[in-house]
Amino acid sequence: MQPDNTATSHHHRRAYERVLFKHMAVLNFVGGKSLLGITRNVSLHGVFLVVTNVPPDVEPGSEALLGLTIANLKKSFPCRVAHIRDNGIGIAFQKKDLDFGTTLTEFLKQKTQYWLGTDIKSSNHLQLTLLDTSTPTPKEIPNIHLIKMSATHINLSFFSSYGRSLRPGDSLDLEIRKYEQTPITLKVVVQSVSTIHPKNTVNADEKNLLCRVPRHAETHGKCHQRFGT
């Protein structure tokens, strides 16, 4: 398998490696033989599969279909065996015009949605940008920090020195980035604003902001966004 040559493809490859690490896959060879494996390295050029036993008739050059279940859809990609090691098989894709990159980009978005559909805390290292859209000119609210997020509510902290007092019912745009190339923007509604107890903060100016995620929240992106599955 050839290495990716650009910074952009490297970004994509690393994201794919993270999201497809230890993902179940199957190699369907010509003649009907199937081999189950677990993905370890993934790039736009190919995949390395960890397998327990490689049949003796499988050798470099053998053609197969790589089967993956991605976002609840079964996908197959023409490939060939590039090399064989003691712990697995290196697979190279047959065609450069294959939609593997597009498919995996969609899968990354689905995985981001999965994280949003479960309770997550600030330790998940999400990148957040919050825009106040209740005014004629949207304005970014600086210094926001994630406290907790679920499928229905997002709890943030911010400084009350922000120019305008936020009130229940105000509309905000929250951009969430789990992976650098797959941002999701949610339209949320302020539910409550309260003062954080002094014992829980080192800054008396810090406020607690609880936002509600509408059941059919409007999002930006090519794929359908669904939360709380």
In a domain, 113, yes or no: no
Which among 91, 46, 95, 71 is positioned nearest to 223, based on CA atoms? 71
Same-domain check for residues 93 and 133? no
- Mark whether 124 and 40 lie in a shared domain: no
Of the chain, the percentage scoring pLDDT greater than 70 comes to: 62
Q: Could you tell me if 190 and 141 lie in one domain?
A: yes
- Given 67, 98, 129, the domain boundary residue is 98
Q: With b meaning 16 or more CB within 10 Å and e meaning fewer, what string describes 51-84?
A: beebeeebeeebebbbbbebeeeebebebbbbee
Shared domain check, 138 and 88: no
Task: State whether 136 and 90 are in the same domain.
Answer: no
DSSP secondary structure letter of residue 197:
P
22: in domain: yes
What domain range includes position 173? 120-220
- Does residue 2 sit within a domain? no
Q: Is residue 167 part of a domain?
A: yes
Q: What are the φ and ψ backbone dihedral angles of 181, each rounded to 5 degrees?
A: -95, 10
Q: Summarize pLDDT for 87-134 with one digit per residue, the tens.
A: 899 999 887 645 676 666 666 655 555 555 555 554 455 677 888 888
Residue 73 sits at φ, ψ, to 5 deg, of -120, 135
Same domain, 23 and 66: yes
Least confident of 84-88, 141-145, 155-159, 214-218: 214-218
Residues 72 and 136 in one domain: no
Identify the CATH number of the domain in which residue 39 sits: 2.40.10.220
> Per the domain annotation, does 138 fall within a domain?
yes
> In the chain, how many domains are there?
2
| pLDDT recorded at residue 167 | 87
**What pTM did the predictor assign?**
0.46
Handedness of CA 17, 19, 20, 21 (dihedral sign): positive
Average pLDDT (81-85) is 91
Helix (H) or strand (E) holding 111: helix 100-116
Asked whether residue 65 falls in the same domain as residue 130, the answer is: no
- Residue 154 sits in the same domain as residue 88: no
Distance CA 50, CA 35 (A): 11
Asked if the structure places residue 59 within a domain, the reply is yes
